[in-house]
Structure 1
Amino acid sequence: MLFVQVLLLLGCIILAAKLGGVGVGLAGGLGMVVAVYILGLAPGNIPVSVILIIMSVILALSVMQEAGGMKYMVKCAEKLLRNNPRYINIIAPATTFVLTTLAGTGYTAMSVLNVIQQVAKDNGVRPSQPLSSSVVASQIAITASPISGATAAMYVVVEKMGVSFVDAMAVIFPSALFGCIVAAFVASRQGCELKDDPIYLERVKNGLVNLDDIEDTDEPITPEAKRSVFFFLGGVIFIVAMLMFKSVIGHHLGSKDIIIITMFFVSLVMAVFCKVPLNRIKQAPIFRDGAESIIVILGIVWLSSTIIGAHIGQIKDIAATVLHHYPFLLSLVFFCTSALLFSQGATSALLIPIAASIGVDAGTILASFIAVSALYITNIYPTTAFAIATDDTGSFLSRKWNGSFIVNHPFFLPGISGIIAAVPFGFLLATVFVH
């Protein structure tokens, strides 16, 4: 019976990977029908804490987006990129890393990919280099953000294992940053120079490349937009301070309560002082994306907790022994699952509670955490696909880089290299900060 139930879980994960988006959650719903109504399993625990945290953060981000705050953050990033074109291979991934870390969502990177492509092209840099490193950096940065759904799913588990927020961030943030640096270096070495690329030269000859600099013609940023960013970042700083100085302040609140209370309050403050009509909040693109992520986590994670929870004793005996001798295998499991689910948050919510329940120590979980960022394995994830679509130079079109063999695209080597470098670095940090 265990074999049948595990086969059901794997089958639903494969179906989820094929459906994508909301389909990931729906695949989990199908699995729950089979597991509960046909196989007779008791429903497992719903990841309520993770879902509530994601809802509250998405609410605040949606209000800031409607106030124009997201546009203001992107404007600042654009200015930095245009003023420092010679260092595009360094500044581009650094920009998407910072944007994602602050906002807790990788979709902010899509807002600057057009600018990255244009600046690279204008300065003779092969656009696939900064575009690929920027996309990888935005995906890895999810594991460095204190307010991302993935980090929330991870920390609500390790917090119960006695790990402070400071120690957790001391492992995951430097690991993510180091991974991004390695990825950027590898990306900057991929492909020939733009002026030597025959596909680019042919496209220029045929008039398929826009060589005119795109000037910023968007409407000016309003004071309300700037104000909303100030309020949102103030909320993030308050959350981090409350978690970092918990022992000094003397409160007994958990991360879930602090994040939810703060994000709801910040949302109200932004709505009032940034003049955001309440009926517009639910129309924000981030609000819709957030609803999708909640459905994804609810469906597939609930199914896993139902099946795994029914056999936790057997699984613990086997997995705990293996991971005790080969702890790095946890990062491989994180890596493969995130590549299938296309979601760091769903992967974290799915696997980290299981890892903790079978006796995996907090240090191993934190060190392996960055491996939930393998969304670039194929080039069909929204940010990777958009990066390819925004480039008119043909730097992604060479047979060596066009993804015709699934992994032969410019995102693969930087992403793999970044994680391979970051995981051992994370284990080193964990020996220092996690006891």
Structure 2
Amino acid sequence: MTLLMVIELLVVLLALWVGARYGSLALGAISGIGLAILVFGFQLEPSTPPTDVIYIIIAAVTCAGMLQASGGMDWMIQVAERLLRKHPDRITLLAPFTTFVLTILVGTGHVVYTLMPIICDIALKKGIRPERPCGIASIASQIGITCSPIAAAVVAFATISAENGYNVSNLQVILVTIPACVIGILAAVAYSWNRGLDLDKDPKFQARLKDPVQYNYIYGSSATTLDKEIAPESKRAVYIFLAALALIVVFSVFTMAGHNILPAWNEVAVVKGGPAEITLANGVTESAKQLAKASVVLAGVTETVPKHLTMNLVIQIVMISAAALMIIFCKAKPKKAIAGAVWQSGMVAVVAIYGIAWMANTYFDNYKPEMQAMLTDLVKAYPWAMAFAFFMVSVLINSQGAVVVSMLPLAYSLGIDGWILLGIMPSVYGYFFIPNYPSDIATVNFDRSGTTVIGKYLLNHSFMIPGMIHVVIATICGYGIAFFFHSIGWI
């Protein structure tokens, strides 16, 4: 690695560090400054912005935002609360799986904020230390992102993999990540079940109860959504949303089974005279490189081939259509959707991926030969070691989607097999390590008992051990599951 490479890498890391300090939109925006320095200062050629992934996120977030605006999410939270209150003694087990499933359905972990105070309330009423369910429930709400067919990380993985010759659908991705993450959650639950002192034996908690003001704050109120009336339109919105998800899954299943039922159009293809390689003649006008490639192959033999609609476009069409149906038939107000937490957090993710991935890809694309020379021997011997890189980058940038978009092209350029990268997919979640993520901070504030904490030394917080247990176990299991599926030809 040359001195210039090191200096430019420090520019990338500095932009990420400064952006993380400001948080929210700043992470993506300040990455733009890093990109500007790389392009204008060091004369690096900018990479192509990750527009395909961004378009899918916008479509999915718009649909989820409309679901929230219609009141549909309130109904989903009510259903979840009824389940939790029906089995209060199992709150440490049920709470994380409830937040996990909600994230899978909606594609974002920000839907669980309403549920977190309820989890704390149920634990307190049952005499269970709230840190036990709250810590792992917050972790599980983010774990679900790698298991949702409409989440940015899953969409990005499928899209980028296809661009690098590994055709895997969103459904195939979650066939690996869901069982791996479920095992990881169970391992974290096993640790959390008896973590910390019981409330009646915790001297700090008992001391707080002696203060009447504190006692009233802890036990004087009850968090619930069961008293909220759900309109018929809200339930219709949920049905529309679930139908949209089901339609996406159906298309994926048929494609996996070798029966692509998606629309197809004839396209002229040019066959090169060398190795078996086909370049589409009418889709090569995006850049000077593609035009140069087209000029070489246009003299070859042409043939007409069918080109099917791709799944990334299917997701966009279905999600946008579902959002429109909610507006028409479910009284979902667009202004309310824009003001909602789901839409706003989704747009923050868009900006983060836009800035971070564009900056990181610009650096890596300009130094692919050097990166390959330095890391090829390592990844050949230990290809799973890429999981450490995924995790460390996630600690910095607080976005699993941005990790996939910025790091996956590099991983493919190093020659790592797609099934291995799919197996280590759970390692892209590492932003619990430094407890500055909104869901973790909110969980600490929602816990009226004060048992869910950040910690005096920053890293000794309530989310550290459950998070590490999950990532390690889920990544190991994901690798094993991916190996099995790959060996039988499923992925």
Give me the TM-score of the superposition, normalised by structure 1. 0.95
CA–CA distance in 1 between the matches of 2:190 and 2:55? 38
> What is the correspondence of 1:355-366 to structure 2 with a 5 Å cutoff?
355-366=411-422
CA–CA distance in 2 between the matches of 1:166 and 1:293? 22
Q: 2:56 aligns with which of 53, 58, 82?
A: 53
Equivalent pair of 2:78/2:225 in contact (CA under 8 Å): no
Equivalent pair of 2:160/2:405 in contact (CA under 8 Å): no
Q: Compared with structure 1, are the counterparts of its residues 66 and 166 closer, same or farther at alpha carbon in structure 2 (3 Å cutoff)?
A: closer
Residue 478 of structure 2 corresponds to: 426
Equivalent pair of 2:70/2:233 in contact (CA under 8 Å): yes
Q: Name the SS of the counterpart of 1:434 in structure 2.
A: helix
Equivalent pair of 1:106/1:139 in contact (CA under 8 Å): yes
CA–CA distance in 2 between the matches of 1:227 and 1:412? 39
Residue 410 of structure 1 corresponds to: 462
Residue 292 of structure 2 corresponds to: none
Is 1:297 aligned to residue 353 of structure 2?
A: yes
Q: 2:131 aligns with which of 128, 132, 137?
A: 128
Q: 2:25 aligns with which of 22, 26, 43?
A: 22
Q: Specify which structure has the bigger relative contact order, considering alpha-carbon pairs within 8 angstroms and separated by 6 or more residues.
A: 1
Residue 230 of structure 1 corresponds to: 239
CA–CA distance in 1 between the matches of 2:194 and 2:438? 24
Larger Rg: 2
CA–CA distance in 1 between the matches of 2:226 and 2:424? 44
**Alpha-carbon offset, residue 317 of structure 1:** 2.6
Amino acid at match of 1:239: I
Is 1:242 aligned to residue 298 of structure 2?
A: no
Equivalent pair of 1:69/1:228 in contact (CA under 8 Å): yes
Q: Compared with structure 1, are the counterparts of its residues 257 and 40 closer, same or farther at alpha carbon in structure 2 (3 Å cutoff)?
A: same
Residue 176 of structure 2 corresponds to: 171
Residue 394 of structure 1 corresponds to: 450
> What is the correspondence of 1:275-286 to structure 2 with a 5 Å cutoff?
275-286=331-342
Q: 1:312 aligns with which of 359, 365, 368?
A: 368
Equivalent pair of 1:161/1:362 in contact (CA under 8 Å): yes
Q: 1:354 aligns with which of 410, 422, 431?
A: 410
**Alpha-carbon offset, residue 4 of structure 1:** 2.1
Equivalent pair of 1:335/1:371 in contact (CA under 8 Å): yes
Equivalent pair of 2:77/2:225 in contact (CA under 8 Å): no
Q: 1:342 aligns with which of 398, 415, 419?
A: 398
**Alpha-carbon offset, residue 249 of structure 1:** 3.7
> What is the correspondence of 1:134-173 to structure 2 with a 5 Å cutoff?
134-159=137-162, 160-173=165-178
- Deviations along 1:23-57, whole A, 9 cap, x unmatched? 11122111111111111112111001110010000
CA–CA distance in 2 between the matches of 1:146 and 1:132? 25
Is 1:211 aligned to residue 219 of structure 2?
A: yes
Amino acid at match of 2:231: T
**Alpha-carbon offset, residue 409 of structure 1:** 1.5
Amino acid at match of 1:248: H
Is 1:184 aligned to residue 240 of structure 2?
A: no
Equivalent pair of 1:24/1:300 in contact (CA under 8 Å): yes
Equivalent pair of 2:251/2:261 in contact (CA under 8 Å): no
Residue 198 of structure 2 corresponds to: 193
**Alpha-carbon offset, residue 120 of structure 1:** 0.3
Equivalent pair of 2:119/2:133 in contact (CA under 8 Å): yes
CA–CA distance in 2 between the matches of 1:17 and 1:46? 21
**Alpha-carbon offset, residue 164 of structure 1:** 4.2
Q: Unpaired runs of 5+ in structure 2? A: 263-307
Residue 430 of structure 2 corresponds to: 374
Equivalent pair of 1:157/1:356 in contact (CA under 8 Å): no
What is the RMSD of the two structures over their aligned residues, measured on CA atoms?
Answer: 1.6
Q: Unpaired runs of 5+ in structure 1? A: none
- Deviations along 1:194-220, whole A, 9 cap, x unmatched? 110111111111121332462557530
- Deviations along 1:253-295, whole A, 9 cap, x unmatched? 3221111011011111111110223444333332222221111
**Alpha-carbon offset, residue 297 of structure 1:** 0.8
CA–CA distance in 2 between the matches of 1:225 and 1:319? 52
CA–CA distance in 2 between the matches of 1:328 and 1:221? 47
CA–CA distance in 2 between the matches of 1:393 and 1:356? 47
Residue 274 of structure 1 corresponds to: 330
Equivalent pair of 1:13/1:27 in contact (CA under 8 Å): yes
CA–CA distance in 1 between the matches of 2:182 and 2:471? 11
CA–CA distance in 2 between the matches of 1:78 and 1:341? 32
The runs of at least 4 aligned residues of structure 1 exceeding 4 Å deviation read 215-218
Amino acid at match of 1:190: R
| Comparing 303-312 and 115-124, the one that deviates more | 303-312
- Deviations along 1:136-183, whole A, 9 cap, x unmatched? 111111111111111111111224413344432221111111111111
CA–CA distance in 1 between the matches of 2:356 and 2:401? 11
Residue 16 of structure 2 corresponds to: 13
CA–CA distance in 2 between the matches of 1:132 and 1:277? 34
**Alpha-carbon offset, residue 241 of structure 1:** 1.4
CA–CA distance in 1 between the matches of 2:189 and 2:311? 32
Q: Compared with structure 1, are the counterparts of its residues 157 and 199 closer, same or farther at alpha carbon in structure 2 (3 Å cutoff)?
A: same
Equivalent pair of 1:379/1:403 in contact (CA under 8 Å): no
CA–CA distance in 1 between the matches of 2:402 and 2:460? 26
CA–CA distance in 2 between the matches of 1:374 and 1:323? 21
CA–CA distance in 2 between the matches of 1:425 and 1:265? 37
Equivalent pair of 2:158/2:169 in contact (CA under 8 Å): no
Q: How many residues align?
A: 431
CA–CA distance in 2 between the matches of 1:226 and 1:321? 55
Is 1:78 aligned to residue 81 of structure 2?
A: yes
CA–CA distance in 1 between the matches of 2:60 and 2:172? 23
Give me the TM-score of the superposition, normalised by structure 2. 0.85
